[in-house]
Amino acid sequence: MSFFSRLSNGWDLAKISLSTINSNRSLLLFPVFSVVSLVLVLATFFGGTFFFIGDELEVLFNDEQYGNLVGYGLVFLYYLINFFVIVFFNSALIHCAVKILNGEETSLQEGMSFAWSRVDKIFAWSVLSATVGTLLQALQNAGKIGEIAASLIGIAWSILTFFVVPVLIYEDKGVIESVKESGRLMKQKWGESLAANVSFGVFHFLGILVAVGIGILLSSVSVVLGIVAGVAIVLLVSTVMSAAQTVFVAAVYNHVTGRPVGNFDGDALDSVFITK
């Protein structure tokens, strides 16, 4: 299949994902909850940390022996909180999306309850993700070669862990086993590399263009109104695209494991990846 055929299929898959979200708009609440929770938790944690021990942290940062250690420790905590919040709500959203693709009824409460029942696995995965993220950050700080290496490793890690969240929450496997299973599914079913699928990015970009256009038009009436409207539309587009991409992951996982995929086409889902 040609590159442009893959892009065409990717466009169709993105539209189906968006259509699924449009038919089940309550799913949009999961990314909203994720962002709000992340902001509140990070603000409380780091704000409280610097309020109570800000002076001590400044001394530690300037310490030749412990400065880098403290810095990377905070990077790790940031990644840990970030990954935990995002993965928790993504797990809830994936569960609800899988139920919908299976033709079953679901609810926000069911999704949240399911994610909470897997909280130990979610935390373990967050610890591993935070560790990898911190190591990649350290590699990036090692110079130009380190930046290139970190980028390549980051891409490989993203491909390897594409199915980790659904595998982790649905199968009786630990974190390391889930990573291995995710890699096995990628290699066995489609090969080692994701195809060039930019459709979600195109939708996101078009949404931002619309937001900017509306913001500029409204700025002729009121600058504040234009800015508020533009930011609100960007946030809405980002929320919708985040939910749609998670639905897409749920559909791909269902397809890989032989489960119903709703309105998604199996051949189109296969085309998203490059065979070995």
Per-residue pLDDT tens digits for 197-214 = 456 777 777 888 888 888
* 120 — pLDDT class (breaks 50, 70, 90): very high
pLDDT at 192: 36
The confidence score (pLDDT) of residue 113 equals: 94
- Structural domain including 32 reads 3-274
Number of domains in the chain: 1
Mean of pLDDT values over 48-63: 52
Cα atoms found within 13 Å of the Cα of residue 198, Cβ hemisphere only: 6
Output 178 or 221, whichever has higher pLDDT.
178
Residue 193 has what pLDDT?
A: 39
CA distances from 141 to 134, 136, 144, 150, 187 (A): 11, 9, 8, 10, 32
Q: Mean of the per-residue pLDDT values for the chain?
A: 79
Encode the chain in three state secondary structure.
Answer: CCHHHHHHHHHHHHHHHHHHHHHCHHHHHHHHHHHHHHHHHHHHHHHHHHHHHHHHHHHHHCCCCCHHHHHHHHHHHHHHHHHHHHHHHHHHHHHHHHHHHCCCCCCHHHHHHHHHHCHHHHHHHHHHHHHHHHHHHHHHCCCHHHHHHHHHHHHHHHHHCCCHHHHHHHCCCCHHHHHHHHHHHHHHHHCCEECCCCHHHHHHHHHHHHHHHHHHHHHCCCHHHHHHHHHHHHHHHHHHHHHHHHHHHHHHHHHHCCCCCCCCCHHHHHHCEECC
**For position 195, what pLDDT does the model report?**
46
Span 122-131, mean pLDDT?
94
pLDDT at 46: 64
- Binned at pLDDT 50, 70 and 90, residue 68 comes out as low
Is 268's pLDDT higher than 60?
Answer: yes
**From residue 60, how far is each of 54, 65, 74, 141, 270 by CA, in Å?**
10, 9, 12, 19, 52
The residue-averaged pLDDT of 42-48 equals 67
Whether residue 4 contacts residue 197, with contact meaning beta carbons closer than 8 Å, is answered with no
The answer on pLDDT for 43 being more than 90 is no
Contact of 54 with 70, CB cutoff 8 Å: no
- Among 25, 142, 99, 148, which residue's Cα sits nearest to residue 261? 99
- Residue 219: the pLDDT is 84
pLDDT value of position 53: 52
Looking at per-residue confidence, does 10 or 212 come out higher? Answer: 212
Q: Is-contact 123 84, C-beta < 8 A? A: yes
